[in-house]
Amino acid sequence: MTDHQRIHPVVVDPEAPPTRPLAPLGSILRAEKGEPGGQHQIPLRRNVTIPVMPPSPPKKKRSCLCKCICWTISLVLILLIIIGATIGILYLVFQPKLPKYSVDNLRISDLTLNFDMSLYARFNVRITAYNPNKNIGIYYEKGSHLSVWYKNTNLCQGSIPRFYQGYQNRTVLNVALSGQNQYGRTLLEALQEQQQTGRIPLDLKIKVPVSIKLKTLKLRKVKIVGTCKLIVDSLSTNSMISIKASTCNFGVKL
């Protein structure tokens, strides 16, 4: 009598991890033979290192020195803007104009060649100063300098007195100039030769420190600088000299 096949129960552990299902035998054989129907396992790369970019350095804050420089530049610019605006407003309100000067008369009281061959000269010049401004007064301060030149040679020099010139005022100044030149003989011969032509060029150079008065406000000193180019007919002493031509140009120097 044939033994019956016995069936033994299989105990399954519920905590055991699931196993990978077995591949069919046919697919395994095809994979071993290299057939396209077979399944290939993709190898997994382990221990792969991923490059990590270093963190960017934090932005540097502006130093205190840089901030101080920026603040200083800003304050200077603001100050310049304020000064410019103030000057512009004052210019529009007062409309300042330069004073005008003219040489009315020239007289030579002395032109002598000394024993040491130096030339002594003494001139008297009458100058008219006109202030055309309606709201600006002019204080003529001490330290003025006037000089008469023949070409590049200084003949004599002097100064004008201190005085105040009011609005739209015309003032006549009589200025005495004197000087001595060591190359007297050569200079006198040149002047006498030039006198024969009847046209002797002379330059009257003026440098005067003045203070400007705006109504009741007195401003800082400036200098009025200029030259009057003269053509005279003679250099005879103690006689009236005719001024044939006169051109004056003046400007302000801070």
Q: What's the CATH code of the domain at 134?
A: 2.60.40
82 part of a folded domain: no
Query: How many structural domains comprise the chain?
Result: 1
Token pair 């015309």 is found at 170
* pTM for the full predicted model: 0.66
**What confidence tens digit (pLDDT) does each residue in 91-123 have?**
787 888 999 999 999 999 999 999 999 999 999
200-214 and 145-150 beta bridge pairing: antiparallel
12 part of a folded domain: no
Query: What DSSP element (H or E) covers 225?
Result: strand 217-232
208 part of a folded domain: yes
67 part of a folded domain: no
**What confidence tens digit (pLDDT) does each residue in 43-67 have?**
555 555 666 666 665 555 557 888 8
Residue 234's domain comprises 110-253
148 part of a folded domain: yes
- Measured in whole angstroms, the distance separating CA 40 from the mean position of its chain's CA atoms is 84
Using CA atoms, how far residue 34 sits from 31, 44, 170, in Å, is: 5, 21, 125
247 part of a folded domain: yes
